[in-house]
Amino acid sequence: MHTAHLTIRPQAVIGTINPRIYGSFIEHLGRAVYDGIYEPGHPLADAAGFRTDVIELVKELGVSAIRYPGGNFVSGFKWEDSVGPVAERPARLDLAWHSTETNQIGLHEFQDWLDRVGSELMLAVNLGTRGTAEALELLEYTNLHTGTALAEQRIANGRTEPLDVRIWCLGNEMDGPWQLGHRPAEDYGKLAAQTARAMKQFDPDLELVVCGSSSSSMPTFAEWERVVLSHAYDAVDYISCHAYYENTGDLGSFLASGVDMDRFIRSVLATADQVKAVRGSSKTIDISFDEWNIWYNTRFENVDKIEGVRNWPKAPRLLEDVYTVADAVVFGSLLITLLKHADRVTSASLAQLVNVIAPIMTEPGGPSWRQTTFFPFSATSAHARGTALDVATVTDTYETGRFGDVPVVDAVAAHDEVAGHYAVYAVNRSMDGPTEIVVDLSALPHGAEGFAASARVLNDPDLDAANTLEEPERVTLRNLPVVRDGSTVHITLPPVSWAEILLER
């Protein structure tokens, strides 16, 4: 049996956990919108056509902000198509996903849905096939109270009060050759800087996200960030990171995906801080990790792609990955990594939310259900609030093919001063047996005895176990025995597992 010793240190503060770290992402892609959040013929649809069962699951998941409408989709998107009378909106080809977009759901409807689920809108502008002028027009339409043609157009379209969008993405993955309007870093950096400065002339308090690399494996990675920020540093607030992981047959390396994410974050921060130093700036750029997840992209590349110049389906089944226990354990470890950088990763978007590489699945006319990845996110978003704490961890290591020796156990903690509890999140990457975890609480204020300890774990002897339409509750969190021994608590984590330990007064 492996062992790990964790010490909770209230003074070892990483940073304040920004609630936006529990954001998500809905793109006009596949069945994310149509048959996902919106299905007017469904028995559980409300008067606006939104599925109320999905609304309840999104609330349970605890999503703070939702990035919209893309993604690759946004680089060919004309926002004007998505407002005004629905019957008059044009259908358009979506070149990004080789589909037809009907525009039945647009900006107003999506904001109405966000009001129902209680999430903030994170809006992306098209800097692929459009530019600064169109971004300013969208900003004026959404955020100006009254007095101009665009503000009055919004009011005539049914929304008197502005949407007041506070955080904006300046395009999407502009480093990628697959992106409509892809351009070199020098060109994108100039366009992003010009657009950012113009938007802040409208409202200097806007928060703007400039596109970083779409992957740390891109040949332009790091140099892209340096060049873009050399132009846009003074005008933006965030640089984006995107990362997806999949099990390609090397389970040990897959379980260590959080190591790769950690290195990615550190590299981007080092580059941003180098630009800061060169410019002599007092401003610090944070990271918006606005796309992250498990995604079996190889399946999409080899199986799911839609082809044919006459074949443009509406809301096709795309990227509907079924997530296993192993996927969920890695997913939970990625959440741990994000929290370990809570001082600089202050916005993040799980990509995506419904049906498309998503924690929530739906069947047209039928049920909705939670995928395995739903549970680490919902538990963390509910209890990892307040401040993130660095956990002193002494653990065994194991060798991986991709990352060398990595810790068997990775962990982070959070202290919610308002709720009065501590939460510890730990992943056991061991594939050959359980790991005994000893959590030292002696440094907690008022003594360890003042806290009741409980634990929940996600694991299964079958690492391929999943929740499906036929068996929607196969995998869930289950209670894990906790043994108190003075100022320590002991739990035994099964192999390949993720756990939450709550310490409540």
Provide the annotated active-site residues. Answer: 173, 291
Phi, then psi, of 63 in degrees rounded to 5: -80, 125
Residue with tokens 């048959």: 35
Task: Look at the alpha carbons of 423, 263, 171, 300 in this order and tell me if their dihedral is positive or negative.
Answer: negative
> Does residue 448 contact residue 495 with C-beta atoms inside 8 Å?
no
- The first and second tokens of residue 428, run together, are 């056991």
Residues 434, 491: Cα–Cα separation, whole Å: 10
Phi, then psi, of 182 in degrees rounded to 5: -50, 140
Residues with Cβ within 8 Å of residue 446, at least 6 apart in sequence: none
Residues 413, 426: Cα–Cα separation, whole Å: 9
Residues 326, 341: Cα–Cα separation, whole Å: 23
Residues 372, 332: Cα–Cα separation, whole Å: 10
Q: In this structure, are strands 120-125 and 65-68 parallel, antiparallel, or unpaired?
A: parallel
Task: Look at the alpha carbons of 7, 9, 15, 21 in this order and tell me if their dihedral is positive or negative.
Answer: positive
CA 189 from chain centre, in angstroms, equals 24
- Candidates 331, 263, 325, 340; CA nearest to 295 is 331
- The first and second tokens of residue 240, run together, are 């984006």
Report the run of H or E that residue 324 belongs to, with start and end: none
Residues 407, 430: Cα–Cα separation, whole Å: 9
